[in-house]
Amino acid sequence: MVDVPEEQLNNEAVVLYGDVLRLTDAVGGRADQVIREASGLGGSEFEVLLRLARHPDGRTTSARLAEDLSFTSGGLTRLIARMEEAGLLARHPHPADRRAVLLEPTAHGHELLRRALEAHVPQITAAIVDPLTPVERLVLRELITKLLAHSSRGPVAHPTNGERP
């Protein structure tokens, strides 16, 4: 048996990371289930439709979407193809760049996103908003933003007060 030093087993960063993983698994797993039951959307499909809906005019390029979601271009290309085939989004020529296309949810994609959000918002609110005071929510948002800013993903723009990023 390998002897692991106690200070590594109970290292503050290791314990905190484990707590973050447990919370993500508990909340994220339930959220994925609620979204799928309400709309039939998988987690990645939901995120694509949500991010598109948050963009000005409700559409953006695949390059920007890949950046928003931290997807590889190949992974996103396959997902977009599946979503287009399922009638969830459409591609349109970019008016200013002949090499690019704009992605936009279809009416069907908007409808499934609406259904997903109607179920997801109360569930996720109960899981991560209701247990916290307004001050705790603000502190949590600041801490998450700070950690993301120091990660490989970099800072993330979040809508506030209904504004779009």
- Whether residue 129 lies inside any domain: the answer is yes
> At residue 155, what are phi and psi to the nearest 5 degrees?
-65, 150
Query: Number of folded domains in the chain?
Result: 1
pLDDT confidence tier of residue 80, bands split at 50, 70 and 90: very high
Tell me the CA distances in angstroms from 91 to 48, 51, 88, one per residue in order: 13, 15, 11
Residue 59: which residues within 8 A CB-CB, separation 6 or more? 52, 92, 102, 103, 104
- Whether residue 131 lies inside any domain: the answer is yes
Which CATH number do you get for residue 28? Answer: 1.10.10.10
- Whether residue 126 lies inside any domain: the answer is yes
Contact between 84 and 90 under an 8 Å Cβ cutoff? The reply is: yes
From start to end of 122-162, where are the E strands? none
pLDDT confidence tier of residue 162, bands split at 50, 70 and 90: very low
- Whether residue 164 lies inside any domain: the answer is no
- Whether residue 1 lies inside any domain: the answer is no
Digit-coded pLDDT (tens) for 11-28: 999 999 999 999 999 999
In 3D space, the residue among 106, 87, 92, 107 whose CA is nearest the CA of residue 61 turns out to be: 92
- Whether residue 158 lies inside any domain: the answer is no
- Whether residue 118 lies inside any domain: the answer is yes
In 3D space, the residue among 48, 27, 164, 165 whose CA is nearest the CA of residue 106 turns out to be: 48
- Whether residue 8 lies inside any domain: the answer is no
In whole angstroms, what separates CA 17 from the centre of its chain? 19
Q: What is the pLDDT of residue 120?
A: 97
Domain containing 38 equals 13-150
Q: What is the mean pLDDT of the chain?
A: 89
* H or E element in which residue 43 lies: helix 43-54
